[in-house]
Structure 1
Amino acid sequence: MAISIVLADDHHIIREGLRVLLDAQANFSVIGEAADGRSAVKMIIDRKPDVAVMDVSMPSLNGIEATRQIVAGSTKTKIIALSMYADRRYIDGMLKAGASGYLLKNCVTKELVTAINTVVKGNVYLSPQIATTVVNHYLCQTASSPGIASDELTDREREVLQLIAEGLSIKDIADMLHIGKKTAESHRRNIMQKTGIHSIAGLTQFAIREGLIQL
């Protein structure tokens, strides 16, 4: 039986290229594409593919938060992060969220094929550059940086934080998340209390530092 795959990336040309490459494999079948994190979550939970190839940086809902929601949805889909960034924040975020693999976008087709076959068997796949970053990070963990990390916020608070950092108003955030304006304001207030940051500029810098958005 073919391995079913969903592609999630906000760049159409990347999704198109990945589809062509993966559909050329005899045992792979791309069954869907999503251009943002929210669409990806819905599609993956609905279609239950074997594997999702997930961009880390996407608008509205980034790949880290999308992965958290997919894993929380009890789907058995294995998630492979595909990113331009070998930054520890993104790697840590995706692996903690439940991803089974992390590759850089400059990987060759053979590596992506290997990664998909690896995670389907229940194993983890990290490209060589990523593996080095992960090892170095854990060797240096004793020198952890002070201050709150974004994983101390709730899932909803991280969603709201990303949208604030992307410049959305509280009304727009409430509409997008289908919640009341007062609820959105409450989430913003809780974020500020937990982080000790009381300006939009400061929250934006925090979101960038934590890998929730990119410059």
Structure 2
Amino acid sequence: MIRVLLVDDHPLVLDGINACLSSEPGIEVVGQASNGLEALELAESLSPAVVLMDVSMPVMNGLEATKEMQLRFPACRVLILSMHENREYILQLMQSGAAGYVLKDVASEELVRAIEVVNQGGTYFSSRASEALVKQFAPDNKHSYNEDRPCLTKREESVLKLLAEGGSNKDIARKLDISVRTVETHRQNIKQKLNIQTAAGLAKYAIENNIV
């Protein structure tokens, strides 16, 4: 069971998401919070695997709460659920340590998939969130190459691309027909070469350098 904590300042939204997720056999909603401060308090006592976090909230907003969540509970994965598709919002939340960004108009099936992906260590962005980021970083020449960036092998670029698309180690191993241990090794090598330690940071790098 994936233990999920819901965080949103609108009771109707909380009730709707709770009803949606409660019917999923692999997900357990363990608590609900109306702001970031409550979320941190509940995370300490409930130990959720995934926190489904709104952005605009009173007392402590989603950006501040995500940063604090990563400092205090690094094993907890934060999935942003927002109505904003503004690229500045998305970039700030990626840099704060969020594992994914999903817009509130997605279907329930996609929300469940996003929770599963981030729980497995992947990164997930809904299609419109991804489009906002690609528009921000896409140069005139889609295939341009930054000569100053660290040199990744073809295999490492393949792994990075799948990581940025939200693939877990198992998913990547299956797609590339290699072992999970080999994927983990590539992942560590990529982090060391790029000096990037978070999944969201790797996704941002892949987008900026046209790897996805």
Kept after mapping to 2: 8 A contact 1:100/1:125: yes
Q: Is residue 2:114 matched to residue 1:111?
A: no
Deviation at 1:96, TM superposition (A): 0.7
One-letter amino acid of the counterpart of residue 136, structure 1: K
One-letter amino acid of the counterpart of residue 59, structure 2: S
Secondary structure at the aligned position of 2:121 is classed as coil
Instruction: Name 2:157's counterpart in structure 1.
Output: none
Instruction: Name 2:49's counterpart in structure 1.
Output: 50
Instruction: Name 2:145's counterpart in structure 1.
Output: none
Kept after mapping to 2: 8 A contact 1:53/1:82: yes
Kept after mapping to 2: 8 A contact 1:48/1:76: no
Instruction: Name 1:61's counterpart in structure 2.
Output: 60
Distance 1:86 1:46 in 2: 32
Deviations 1:15-49 (A, max 9, x none): 01111110100011000000011101121133220
Distance 1:49 1:89 in 2: 27
Instruction: Name 2:27's counterpart in structure 1.
Output: 28
Q: Is residue 2:95 matched to residue 1:90?
A: no
Question: Structure 2 length as normaliser, TM-score?
Answer: 0.64
Deviation at 1:90, TM superposition (A): 1.2
One-letter amino acid of the counterpart of residue 104, structure 2: K
One-letter amino acid of the counterpart of residue 4, structure 1: R
Distance 2:10 2:135 in 1: 31
Instruction: Name 1:120's counterpart in structure 2.
Output: 119
Deviations 1:144-187 (A, max 9, x none): xxxxxxxxxxxxxxxxxxxxxxxxxxxxxxxxxxxxxxxxxxxx
Distance 2:88 2:70 in 1: 19
Gaps (5+ residues) in structure 2?
140-212
Gaps (5+ residues) in structure 1?
141-215
One-letter amino acid of the counterpart of residue 88, structure 2: R
Q: CA RMSD in A?
A: 1.1
Deviation at 1:77, TM superposition (A): 1.0
Distance 2:96 2:21 in 1: 25
Deviation at 1:71, TM superposition (A): 0.1
Question: Structure 1 length as normaliser, TM-score?
Answer: 0.63
Distance 2:27 2:8 in 1: 18
Moved over 2 A (4+): none
Distance 1:104 1:68 in 2: 20
Distance 1:42 1:95 in 2: 22
Instruction: Name 1:41's counterpart in structure 2.
Output: 40
One-letter amino acid of the counterpart of residue 61, structure 2: N
Distance 1:74 1:44 in 2: 8
Distance 1:72 1:126 in 2: 22
Deviations 1:64-104 (A, max 9, x none): 10000000103311111001110012111111111111011
Identity across the alignment (%) = 34
Distance 1:48 1:97 in 2: 20
One-letter amino acid of the counterpart of residue 24, structure 2: Q
Secondary structure at the aligned position of 2:85 is classed as coil
Secondary structure at the aligned position of 1:30 is classed as strand
5 Å matches for 1:72-83? 72-83=71-82
